[in-house]
Amino acid sequence: MPEKRPRPPTVRLRRLAAELRKLRASAGLSREDVAERTGINEVTLYRIERSRSRPQKRTLVGLLDLYQADDRQRADLLALQSRSNDQGWLRPYHSELPEEYTAYIGFEAEARTVRNYESLFIPGLAQTERYALEVIKGGMPTASQKQIAQRVQARMERQAVLTRDRPLQLWSIVDEAALTRQVGGAQVMREQAQHLLRLIEEPSVTFQVIPFEKGAHVGMTGSFVHMDFPDADDPELVYLDTPAGDLFLESEAEIRRYRLMFEHLQAVALGPNDSADLLAKVAEARW
């Protein structure tokens, strides 16, 4: 029987891990110190602090005692521990998707704001089903029809975050190449442009285009997603989809760097109104 794959971390588990790292640092203790005083294995502590493992309640209580956490911190972190595995967004077939991708779906579902720069294709949250199918087929040439269908289904389901009671705030910036590359042919591109025009009328969606004439810009190094969450205490996150694998970045220096990159892209891109005008021309083009 194949080994059961661990669930990807939730936002609550990441927050718990971040708070425990802060408490240990404030106490001036190394992981080795903690291991000596509590008997908790250093590897186990590392996994807890990197949100790779959910601590048992008795382990968490032992850490909070050692770190001399106050009553408020203790109550908050015990509450986080008790709900750290809540993942209402999971679907039965998600177990067959890559672990990093299901983690991304979870973070996106819990995010307040997503800032997404794409250089070569329309952002997933704004794709039509036909466009998504062509993008996924082109990017996964060895995948089975079932695998492709699951990816398309997951992408369409993800878009529910834009129509929920408190919709996700989506700010997308794309290079003009994403609008002009013929993915799936003229009709698919026309439908995609028309769908985008309807989508950007929503107050929760902002869309900008960087035209070719702007030349070189910071986004040419690759696409990325920057997320923040409703609770200001939940750490921000940057996601990179690379040929070498998916990466999640969460250090303050990394978050600061990508936040600055997005600000540069906002400045070099056309404003939302001019971007909509360009998009309308794409929708009317004969290709």
**Could you give the domains of the chain?**
11-83 (1.10.260.40), 92-284 (3.30.870)
Burial 210-222 (b: 16+ CB within 10 A, else e): beeeeeebebeee
Q: Return the pLDDT at 283.
A: 87
pLDDT at 8 over 60: no
Half-sphere exposure of 111 (CA within 13 A, CB side): 28
Token pair for 250: 């969460």
The alpha carbons of the chain give a radius of gyration, in whole angstroms, of: 21
Query: DSSP assignment of 64-76, as one string?
Result: HHHTT--HHHHHH
Least confidently predicted of 46-50, 137-141, 142-146, 200-204: 46-50
pLDDT in tens, 112-163: 999 999 999 999 999 999 999 999 999 999 999 999 999 999 999 999 999 9
Strands (E) located in the chain: 113-118, 169-175, 205-210, 224-228, 237-242, 245-249
CA distance 285 to 94: 38
Q: In this structure, which amino acid lies at residue 51?
A: S
Q: Residue 113: enclosing H or E segment and its boundaries?
A: strand 113-118
pLDDT at 90 over 50: no
Residue with tokens 């032992």: 62
Contacts of residue 112, defined as CB under 8 A and 6 or more positions apart, other chains included, come to 168, 169, 228, 229, 230
Largest Cα separation within the chain, whole Å, is 71
Burial 150-163 (b: 16+ CB within 10 A, else e): bbbbbbeebbebbe
Token pair for 121: 């294709």
**pLDDT-derived band at 234, boundaries 50, 70, 90:** confident
Q: Return the pLDDT at 265.
A: 98
**pLDDT-derived band at 82, boundaries 50, 70, 90:** confident
Token pair for 144: 């089975």
Tell me 264's DSSP state. Answer: H
Give percent of the chain above pLDDT 70: 90
pLDDT at 5 over 50: no
